[in-house]
């Protein structure tokens, strides 16, 4: 599978290293779309890729799928055109926080027979939510996220403090850069309006921790993920980065587990 990446930040560099540098058996990054050609010229030499600054030229290159690894604003601006021509994987899932965007992208994908893939990112257990929700047997989903205080508030605090408590739809509006997990959880489960979120600023931690509680006709489930950051970029979750690679690898398999 030939891959095109939008963006050249931490996640793009992890992909280039794990796929091209390590000579992945079934995957190869061929093209990368950037804003500044000169700044990222070294990537061409280091990883054997072609840089582009024009979206049309990028989409016309030898790629089967586009991985968006930029930011919410870029994702919103380019995804409609990308999905008219290619399958895509969205990393900045905050772009799907409003129903209008979701409906638009779903229609474009359906009309053009393309697909938008959303990797699990910094959490797991999404197969459980999707399986329960597909039969309407999911009753409640609650996410409690704990992050270093400096990531959530400018206020100097000595003890942990809940900076938000309410539905996912409101959490995303108030903390757009910190609620990717809430978006993917809500989309896999019972939606933005019914998914409950508690966001805690904790001055005593240097990790992001997500605790998820699920109830339904099937029973109850809970799981906790404590994320270490990428060594290359302390602002990016290690699990979020490798979930992209795992999703791409599973798309190429003939033997599929779960889902």
**Contact (Cβ atoms closer than 8 angstroms) between residue 53 and residue 78:** no
Q: Of these residues, 24, 42, 210, 211, which one is catalytic?
A: 210
Q: For the chain, give percent helix, strand, coil, nearest 5.
A: 40, 30, 35
* Among 7, 8, 11, residue whose Cα is nearest residue 247: 11
Q: Beta-strand (E) ranges in the chain?
A: 2-6, 28-33, 50-52, 65-68, 87-90, 116-117, 138-148, 161-167, 196-202, 208-216, 219-227, 229-230, 233-237
Instruction: Give the residue ranges of the annotated binding site for NAD(+).
Output: 122, 180
Instruction: Give the residue ranges of the annotated binding site.
Output: 122, 180
Rounded to whole angstroms, the Cα distance separating 83 from 4 reads 13
* Among 79, 108, 115, 73, residue whose Cα is nearest residue 94: 73
Rounded to whole angstroms, the Cα distance separating 28 from 95 reads 26
Catalytic site includes residue 211 = no
Alpha-helix residue ranges (DSSP H) falling in 93-179: 99-112, 126-133, 149-152, 168-174
Active site residues per annotation: 210
């Amino acid at each position: 599978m030939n891959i095109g990446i939008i963006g050249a930040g931490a996640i793009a560099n992890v992909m280039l290293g794990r796929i091209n540098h390590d000579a992945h058996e079934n995957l190869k990054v061929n093209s990368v779309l950037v804003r500044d050609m000169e700044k990222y010229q070294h990537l061409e030499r280091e990883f054997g890729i072609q840089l582009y600054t024009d979206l049309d030229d990028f989409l016309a290159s030898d790629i089967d799928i586009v991985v968006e690894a930029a930011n919410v604003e870029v994702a919103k601006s380019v995804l409609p055109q990308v999905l008219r021509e290619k399958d895509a994987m969205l990393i900045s899932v905050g772009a799907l926080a409003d129903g209008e965007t979701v409906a638009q992208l779903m229609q474009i994908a359906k009309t053009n027979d393309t697909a938008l893939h959303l990797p699990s990112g910094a959490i797991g257990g999404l197969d459980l939510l999707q399986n329960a929700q597909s039969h309407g047997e999911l009753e409640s989903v609650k996410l409690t996220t704990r992050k270093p205080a400096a990531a959530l508030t400018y206020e100097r605090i000595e003890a942990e403090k809940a900076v938000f408590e309410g539905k996912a739809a409101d959490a995303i509006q108030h903390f757009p850069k910190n609620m990717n997990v809430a978006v993917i959880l809500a989309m896999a489960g019972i939606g933005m309006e019914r998914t409950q979120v508690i966001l805690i600023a904790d001055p005593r931690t240097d990790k992001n921790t997500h605790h998820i509680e699920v109830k339904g006709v099937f029973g109850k489930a809970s799981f906790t993920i404590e994320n270490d950051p990428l060594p290359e970029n302390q602002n990016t979750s290690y699990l979020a980065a490798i979930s992209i690679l795992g999703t791409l690898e599973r798309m190429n398999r003939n033997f599929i587990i779960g889902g």
